[in-house]
C-alpha cells in the first residue's frame, strides 16, 4: 500500500500574523483559504515550494491560547543559503537561535519560533 504524508495541522491564535511568518519569511504560498464563520473557524492551506506536504493552519475564533505540547518538537525546512536565511530571521521580529552544528561541528541549522510558539528548524539543503 502506498502512503504519503500530505499535511500537518497547526492551530493558531492570530491567522494574519502566522500567515505573515510563513509567507514572508519562508516563501510558503497560500494554496486555499476557507472561512466557516457559522462554525467559528477558518482553514488556510500553505504550500512550500518544492514540497507536496501542506501546512494546514486552523484558526478557531474563540479558542483559548494553545499549549505547544512537549511531545511535539518542531517543523523542518531546508534552505539553499543557511547563513543568509539566518540573517533574515535575526533581523525579523521572530525569536531566532544561533547557527549550530551537531556535536559542535560545522553549522548546519538554527531554530526560529513562529507567532504561536511553534519552532521551525531551518537546515542547510544538501
| Joined grid coordinates for residue 112 | 526560529
Of the listed 7, 38, 83, 121, which one is catalytic? 121
> Annotated catalytic, 121?
yes
* DSSP of 51-119: -SPEEEEEEETTPPPPPPPSS---EEEEES-HHHHHHHHHTSSS-B---B-GGG-S--EEEEE-TTS-E
Catalytic residues: 121
Amino acid at each position: 500500500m502506498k502512503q504519503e504524508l500530505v499535511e500537518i495541522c497547526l492551530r493558531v491564535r492570530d491567522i494574519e500574523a502566522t500567515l505573515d511568518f510563513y509567507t514572508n519569511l519562508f516563501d510558503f504560498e497560500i494554496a486555499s483559504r476557507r472561512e466557516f464563520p457559522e462554525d467559528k473557524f477558518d482553514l488556510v492551506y500553505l504550500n512550500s515550494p518544492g514540497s507536496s506536504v501542506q501546512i494546514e493552519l486552523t484558526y478557531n475564533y474563540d479558542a483559548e491560547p494553545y499549549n505547544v505540547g512537549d511531545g511535539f518538537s518542531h517543523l523542518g525546512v531546508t534552505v539553499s543559503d543557511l547563513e543568509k536565511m539566518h540573517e533574515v530571521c535575526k533581523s525579523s521580529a521572530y525569536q531566532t537561535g544561533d547557527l549550530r552544528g551537531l556535536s559542535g561541528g560545522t553549522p548546519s541549522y538554527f531554530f526560529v519560533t513562529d507567532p504561536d510558539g511553534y519552532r521551525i528548524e531551518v537546515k542547510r539543503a544538501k
